Amino acid sequence: MLTRAPTYDALHDGFRWTLPEGLNMAVQVCDARAHATPEALAIIDLTDGARRDVTCGALYTLSRRVEATLRRRGVDRGDRVGVLLSQSPLCAAAHLAAWRMGAISVPLFKLFQGDALRTRLEDCGARIVVTDIDGAFLLSELGVAALVEADLTDPPTDAPPADTGPETPAVLIYTSGTTGKPKGALHGHRVLTGHLPGVEMSHDFLGQPGDVLWTPADWAWIGGLFDVLMPGLALGVPVVAARADKFTPETCAQVIREGRVRNVFFPPTALRMLKAADASLPGLRSVASGGEPLGAEMLAWGRDALDVTINEFYGQTECNMVASSCAALFDPRPGCIGRAVPGFDVAVIDEAGQPTTDEGAIAIRRGCASMLLEYWGNPQATAEKFRGDWLLTGDRGTIEGGYIRFVGREDDVITSAGYRIGPSEIEDCLLTHPAVATVGVVGKPDSLRTEIVKAYVVLKPGARASAETLQDWVKARLASYSYPREIAFLDALPMTVTGKVIRKDLKSMAAEEGA
């Protein structure tokens, strides 16, 4: 756990990773606390309408029952165990069971249909998938073994936890697929330890008396599983499980009220929906956001409507919670993703791999606890992910006095008439227009200018604005070369299951229009 320090520098400079030789995430998250404080609250289960409190002891017993059944069904150390469940105690228990026995859990989104599921299951070669009735039906069509709650007939096992260490593979998480085919990032048992400082920081020191943590994001995403569920459990902060099928401002307010939630991780999409609905959510102590740019507009809205300073953080499936803001320690700089989290050496490097003060590649030095072991079954992609001592995030940015500014993904930076333009600044600017609900900006191939800036805009229900009005809006606020020369209006933007704009789809739309 982070030792609370009076300044960011003291916090960052005084930090060292401590990774014991023997490390098992199930023990770290659950077993130790189940033995010491079995009655302590672990999960507040709101999935069934009424509130049900799941203690550490109950979660432990459930995961031991899953483990017993997995063992009986032949699962062994190193085998891949899919977890196809929405937020629920069983979802948490399934991961814990797999980790305790030295198997590798593979989180899978409930929203995945046939093809999305098939490609991932084939890629990882899952032996069995812990799921619910709908999931079992889908899996039977794919010919993959399923384990559902009704199968848990074995008594809890008391087999000793597998002899694992920080580098032993524990979890295989697929990236969001925003830029291309999702890649399987394989992580060791150290990955949770690697997330803790960032989680604590982005919640202004999570773990204060009365803290209760929730996210509307799916627990199959790194942002749900390792930024919320597992860190909450490991730090002794109760975590709310709620149905995530449909996010609306009303259900969100209800979950916060019924779960007495004080700490939330809202991806920017969720915040944009709350803002478009003029929602207000009382009683929150901390709000963290990440996964996409938050933007100055949303930061200002958070202060106004939620009465908190939203802490933006940054990371990726391959290496997470790398940078964060922390309102308890410093004022955020609008448009910046915060400062390096203790334990992470973040730099912007040039082509030669040297740190630069210009715009360059955002890179993370090897040696932090949450860095992936490898891409599953893809040594070439693993090799390409690194340059010397640095992991290349694939994102571009600058560092200004320790604050990291996100410019855009490598392939998203728009080259127009010799200028390099980051789409996020333009998106942020368009979002400040009162008629705009959400927006995606991409480069559209252009014979004269290489690319032109094209904006796809979704207006708020009932709102109106012409392309010209929006162009003038940007021209008046940003560099004249970066205004969108073309604007198209859509009913909705293409989204990944993690709620991110699928930029590759917008780009191919733009390319087709241009052809």
Q: How far apart are CA 420 and CA 477, in angstroms?
A: 17
Using DSSP, state whether 23 is helix, strand or coil: coil
Q: Which residues, at least 6 apart from 158, have a Cβ–Cβ distance to it below 8 Å? A: 64
Smallest gap from Cβ 182 to Mg ion, in A, equals 9
Site residues for ligand ATP, window 379-408 (CB under 6 A)?
Answer: 393-395, 406
Instruction: Choose among Mg ion, ligand ATP, none what residue 204 binds, the Cβ cut-off being 5 to 8 Å by kind.
Output: none
Size of the site for Mg ion (CB under 5 A): 1
Please, is 499 exposed, middle or buried when counting C-beta atoms within 10 Å of its C-beta (0-12, 13-18, 19+)? buried
Nearer to Mg ion, 175 or 496 (CB): 175
Site residues for ligand ATP, window 337-366 (CB under 6 A)?
Answer: 337
Smallest gap from Cβ 458 to Mg ion, in A, equals 24
Instruction: Choose among Mg ion, ligand ATP, none what residue 182 binds, the Cβ cut-off being 5 to 8 Å by kind.
Output: ligand ATP
Q: Phi then psi for 224, rounded to 5 degrees?
A: -90, -45
Q: How far apart are CA 313 and CA 513, in angstroms?
A: 35
**Residue 355's CB: how many other CB atoms inside 10 A?**
12
Out of 24, 86, 309, 316, the only residue in the binding site for ligand ATP (CB under 6 A) is 316
Smallest gap from Cβ 171 to Mg ion, in A, equals 17
Nearer to ligand ATP, 183 or 444 (CB): 183
Compute the CA torsion angle 259, 264, 269, 275 (nearest 10 deg): 80
Angle at 291 between CA 288 and CA 295, to 5 degrees: 70
Site residues for Mg ion, window 494-513 (CB under 5 A)?
Answer: none
**Segment near ligand ATP (CB under 6 A); pick from 32-40, 66-74, 177-185, 226-234:** 177-185
**Binding mask of the shown chain, residues 156 to 195, with x at each position contacting Mg ion by CB under 5 A:** -------------------x--------------------
Smallest gap from Cβ 364 to Mg ion, in A, equals 13
Smallest gap from Cβ 222 to ligand ATP, in A, equals 6
Out of 131, 263, 317, 471, the only residue in the binding site for ligand ATP (CB under 6 A) is 317
Smallest gap from Cβ 338 to ligand ATP, in A, equals 8
Q: Which residues pair with 374 in a beta bridge?
A: 186
Residue 156 DSSP one-character state: P
| Under 8 Å between Cβ of 171 and 117 | no
Q: Which two tokens stand for residue 449?
A: 């200018």
Amino acid letter, residue 24: N
Nearer to Mg ion, 33 or 507 (CB): 507
Instruction: Choose among Mg ion, ligand ATP, none what residue 324 binds, the Cβ cut-off being 5 to 8 Å by kind.
Output: none
Question: Does residue number 498 form part of the binding site for ligand ATP (CB under 6 A)?
Answer: yes
**Helix, strand, coil % in the chain, rounded to nearest 5:** 35, 25, 40
Q: Is 278 left (phi over 0), alpha (psi -120 to 50) or beta?
A: left
Residues at the interface with ligand ATP (CB under 6 A): 175-180, 182-183, 290-293, 312, 314, 316-317, 337, 393-395, 406, 409, 498, 500
Q: Which residues bind Mg ion (CB under 5 A)?
A: 175
